[in-house]
Structures are given as structure tokens and as C-alpha cells.
Structure 1
Amino acid sequence: MDGADLIRALLEFIYAQRFRICYHQDAQKKYLKEQQIKKLEEKNNSQEGNDATSDGGEEDDDLRVDEAKVDESRQMDFAKVEKRVRTSCGEDTEKYMLNLDINSAHYDPETRSMREDPLPDADPNDKFYLGDNQYRNSGQALEFKQINIHSWEAFDKGQDIHMQAAPSQAELLYKNFKVAKHNLKTQTKDHGEVWECFYRR
């Protein structure tokens, strides 16, 4: 058994133990609930026997509360249809267990990140995790990087701006820069067209 097989066997053992623990906890909760219902029913039955022999005294408030609990628990058991939500432990495969090959993507346990795709050859439509780099290079993260770079360059050129100290100011400066850049491009394009027309004559 080499190192890869040993690691794979260890991870499979940990995963199985985790599943057993969750299953045991669920079974224990169910058993305790059933025991509580049995105790309430026994108490209710013994109180009914005592009331029949007594001379018509009022029932205790505790007994009424117990009856309500028993009735609610009976209703919940028969009428409740519960859709399972994947929140309990051990149901989702961890990202570091998707590919147990030694040469697959590196998982950093300290930062809990896996930058590369653990299953690069699999169908992209079937994957639910594509690696952390997928999210770093898409959406607002890319725009945030560009604002950061622009604020660094502006600070180096003498502007009093800092991205962490004044993020709104940095974003506004970046938007103004983009507008000015676009206007300059359209201006030079128009200017080039004018000179093109002049040289065609």
C-alpha cells in the first residue's frame, strides 16, 4: 500500500465515521422523542383512571398541557411531510475529497482554499465546484481588482487616494477616469476621420 492509497483509505474512513455519528445522533433524538411521548401517554392514562374514581375534581393545568403536547406530537408525526434540506453533516462531499489523486488540485487547509479545479476533465455542466480561481476572475471581483490597480497607480502619480481608507472616492475616481478615457478615444477617432477625409481629396 503506497502513500496515495493510505491517504485515500484514511479519508474514506473519516468520511464513514462522520456519517455514522450523524446517523447515531438522529436516531438518538428520535428515540428520546418517542420515550417522552410514551411517558406523557402513561401519565395521561393514569390521571384518567384517578379521575374516574374521584368525586369530579378539576384536572390539573399540567395535565392539560401534557395532553396538548401529546396531541401535537401525534399530529406532527402523521400530518407532517418534511422536505429534506441538505444542512446536516456528511451529506455534501467536501471539495478536497472530490479528487483524491496526489497530482490533483492543491487544498490549503489553513485558508480552506483550493484554487485549481479538482476535476478538470469532468463535464462542466455536472460540476458544482470549479475552484476558487473561477470566482476570482469573474463578476465584481475583476472590477474590484481594476479599481485597486487604478488607485495604486493614481497614488504613485501624486493623487491623494487610498482604496481601503476611502473606497467610494476611489471608485468615483475610477469611473471618472473611464469616462474621460472613453471621451478621449472618441475624440481621437473623430479627429482621425477628419484628417482621413482631408487626405482623400
Structure 2
Amino acid sequence: MDVISWGKQNGKRHFKCKNCGIYFTSENKSVSLKNKEVWFKKWIIGKQTYEQISSESGYSISTLQRYFNTMFGKAPKLSYSQNKEVYLLIDGNYFSNEICLIVFRDDIFKQTQLYRITDGEHYEEMKEDLENILNLGIKIGGITCDGDKSLLKAIRKVCPKVPVHRCLVHIQRMCKIWLSAYPKSETGFELREIVCKIR
């Protein structure tokens, strides 16, 4: 981390990170950075707002924004093998801060082949992502997804011969929505019992 000295306060030497603008003392630097990683996860995964995290952490919203923005530049490097056939799980996860993370993950080897941070599941972007995967020499043996129309259109355009499967979790979820928690007909009730057994 690139830091500069930032004077003293209460007899303690203060420092400033030139990359993210965070201020800290020599005694609590590691704790401070570790805590901020926890708050970043709460913002991304826990969907807490800047205001909530600011109140919890004691850091200003602008300081948190500077730090979180640097985290996006520290994304892990992905590795892949051209000699294996992958079976992709493709799904988008939406966060409260208008961010959509689309992940292309190999279900057999449990490796992420590609991901995109965007604002939605768009045909042109997912088409480009599939093309990039193929251009890397990765062989796609099959795809499992939630049945998003834009994604299915992209798959048909880029790799029409690849078998596509609907994710069982999404099938179960949609069936429960359509059937409701308490179906009015006996047939609907029986069908819901079958749906609940899907694994």
C-alpha cells in the first residue's frame, strides 16, 4: 500500500493511503483495512446502504466510496484451460446499488471462466461474453441458466448446437410463485408437493 505521513493526533502518528484516501494510525492499520473489507462485503453481498455502513463504521460516506471504488480494481485474475470441455452455469445477481454481476462458471471444475459487472442482463453484452469465451479456445459442452430471454437469444446466436438446461432452482421457484403457497385446487396442491421435491 502506498502511504504518506499525515501528522499527529493525540500523540499518534497518522498516515494517508494515496490510493484510496483512507487515514489510519500505525497501531490500527491492519484492523482498519480488514474492517473495510468486511464493510465492502456488506455493501455488495449484504446490500447495506452507504448510510447504514457509515453509521456502523464511523467512516464518512465519501471515505467509504473511495475505498470501495478501489476494491473493484482488485478483481481476481481468472485462469482457464483450453484442453477441457466446460459446462457453464450462467446467472446474474442484482444488488441494491444498481450493479448486476453476471458470472459464467464451470459446474464441473468449479472455476469461473468469465464475469461482467454491468447494470443488467443485456443481449449484446452476453453475446459478446460467450464469443470471448469461445475465442479463448474454451469448449462449451452445455449451459445451465435461469431461462432469461436475452441470454437464450445470445446462446442461440453464438453457440446454437450447445445443449441448454433450465436451472432446477429457478424452475422450482417459478412453479411455487405460479401455484402460490396455498393452491385452491386439489390438482394444484398435488403439483406443488411434486415441485417441492425437485432436487
The TM-score bracket by the shorter chain reads under 0.3
Greater helix fraction, Structure 1 or Structure 2: 1
Which protein is bigger by CA-based radius of gyration? 1
Which is richer in strand? 2
Q: Please report the TM-score for the alignment, with normalisation by the length of structure 2.
A: 0.19
